[in-house]
Amino acid sequence: MTEALLVLHGHSRRVGLVEWHPTTNNILFSAGYDYKVLIWNLDVGEPVKMIDCHTDVVLCMSFNTDGSLLSTTCKDKRLRVIEPRSGRVLQEASCKNHRVNRVVFLGNMKRLLTTGVSRWNTRQIALWDQEDLSMPMIEEEIDGLSGLLFPFYDADTHMLYLAGKGDGNIRYYEISSEKPYLSYLMEFRSPAPQKGLGVMPKHGLDVSACEVFRFYKLVTLKGLIEPISMIVPRRSDSYQEDIYPMTPGTEPALTPDEWLGGVNRDPVLMSLKEGYKKSSKMVFKVPIKEKKSVVVNGIDLLENVPPRTENELLRMFFRQQDEIRRLREELAQKDVRIRQLQLELKNWRNSPKNC
103-122: pLDDT as tens digits: 999 988 899 999 999 888 89
Q: Give the pLDDT score at 351.
A: 73
CATH number of the domain to which 126 belongs:
2.130.10.10
What is the spatial distance between Cα 244 and Cα 335, in angstroms, rounded to a whole number? 76
241 domain-assigned: yes
Q: Give the pLDDT score at 208.
A: 86
311 domain-assigned: no
204-233: pLDDT as tens digits: 888 888 889 999 999 877 778 999 999 988
Q: Give the pLDDT score at 22.
A: 93
Count helices and strands in the chain by DSSP H and E runs: 2, 23
- Cα–Cα distances (Å) from 172 to 129, 151, 155, 159, 221, in that order, read 21, 10, 13, 7, 25
Residue 151 has pLDDT above 90, yes or no: yes
6 domain-assigned: no
What is the spatial distance between Cα 269 and Cα 276, in angstroms, rounded to a whole number? 17
300 domain-assigned: no
147 domain-assigned: yes
pTM: 0.73
348 domain-assigned: no
113 domain-assigned: yes
What is the spatial distance between Cα 65 and Cα 88, in angstroms, rounded to a whole number? 19
Q: What DSSP assignment string belongs to 148-186? A: PEEEEEETTTTEEEEEETT-S-EEEEEE-SSTT-EEEEE
Neighbours of 139 (CB within 10 A): 15
- Domain range for 202 is 15-275
Residue 353 has pLDDT above 70, yes or no: no
Please count the CA atoms within 13 angstroms of the CA of 297 that sit on its side-chain side.
Answer: 1
254-284: pLDDT as tens digits: 999 999 999 999 999 988 888 766 665 555 5
Q: How many domains does the chain have?
A: 1
114 domain-assigned: yes
pLDDT tier at 339, thresholds 50, 70, 90: confident
* Beta strand extents in 176-283 (DSSP E only): 182-188, 196-199, 211-219, 224-231, 247-248, 269-270
pLDDT tier at 296, thresholds 50, 70, 90: very low
What is the spatial distance between Cα 115 and Cα 182, in angstroms, rounded to a whole number? 14
Residues with Cβ within 8 Å of residue 249, at least 6 apart in sequence = 203, 267, 268, 269, 270
pLDDT tier at 297, thresholds 50, 70, 90: very low
Question: Is the alpha carbon torsion for 337, 339, 340, 341 positive or negative?
Answer: positive
Residue 180 has pLDDT above 90, yes or no: no
Q: Give the pLDDT score at 153.
A: 93
What is the spatial distance between Cα 138 and Cα 200, in angstroms, rounded to a whole number? 29
51-92: pLDDT as tens digits: 999 999 999 999 999 999 999 999 988 999 999 999 999 999
Q: Please, are residues 157 and 242 in contact by the beta-carbon 8 Å criterion?
A: no
Q: Which H/E stretch holds residue 254?
A: none
